[in-house]
């Protein structure tokens, strides 16, 4: 199995595990912090908009929204001008997580890149960006 794909895949699993336990501390499941981040950025977004922002399909957002609304992180409301649209609105509980969750995420990033020199970190971002671009074009 090719070097880079293999290493990237292993790294993904590790980061996934770390993010999972970090977010569980705030009562969230993996990925729900991203959905919240979209609403912190623009409260009242539609599932489609959020899906596009998260690079995920709409059904995924719909399912997550259902669960998150069940635990009181957000509410669903139809748009008053266009009834096809649904808008997701943060509850106080959802808003309250912004500070802690963003701090948690920054902390994780720091811990995980702690062993990199400033130069290595820069090179990593450049190279990974190229891979991301190449991959996106192929998709």
Which residues lie near DNA (CB under 7 A)? 13, 17, 29-32, 46-49, 51, 54-60, 62-67, 76, 82-86
Positions that interact with its own copies (CB under 8 A):
1-5, 7-15, 17-19, 34, 37, 55-56, 102, 105-106, 108-109, 111-116, 120-121, 123-136, 138-139
User: Please, what is the Cα angle at 44 between 42 and 47, to 5 degrees?
Assistant: 95
Task: Select the binding partner of residue 138 from DNA, its own copies, none (C-beta < 5 to 8 A, by kind).
Answer: its own copies
Q: Which is nearer to its own copies, 75 or 98 (CB)?
A: 98
Task: Select the binding partner of residue 4 from its own copies, DNA, none (C-beta < 5 to 8 A, by kind).
Answer: its own copies
Task: Select the binding partner of residue 127 from DNA, its own copies, none (C-beta < 5 to 8 A, by kind).
Answer: its own copies
Q: Bridge-partner residues for 86, per DSSP?
A: 78
Residues 6+ apart with CB under 8 A from 35: 50, 54, 61, 64, 65, 68
């Amino acid at each position: 199995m090719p070097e880079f794909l293999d290493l990237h895949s292993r790294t993904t699993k590790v980061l996934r595990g770390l993010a999972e336990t970090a977010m569980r501390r705030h009562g969230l499941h993996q990925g729900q912090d991203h959905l919240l981040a979209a609403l912190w950025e623009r409260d009242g977004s539609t599932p489609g908009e959020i899906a596009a922002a998260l690079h995920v399909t709409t059904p995924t957002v719909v399912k997550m929204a259902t669960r998150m609304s069940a635990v009181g992180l957000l509410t669903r409301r139809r748009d008053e001008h266009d009834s096809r649209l649904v808008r997701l609105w943060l509850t106080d509980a959802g808003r309250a997580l912004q500070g802690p969750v963003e701090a948690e995420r920054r902390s994780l990033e720091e811990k995980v890149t702690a062993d990199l020199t400033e130069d290595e970190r820069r090179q990593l971002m450049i190279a990974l960006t190229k891979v991301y671009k190449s991959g996106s074009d192929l998709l």
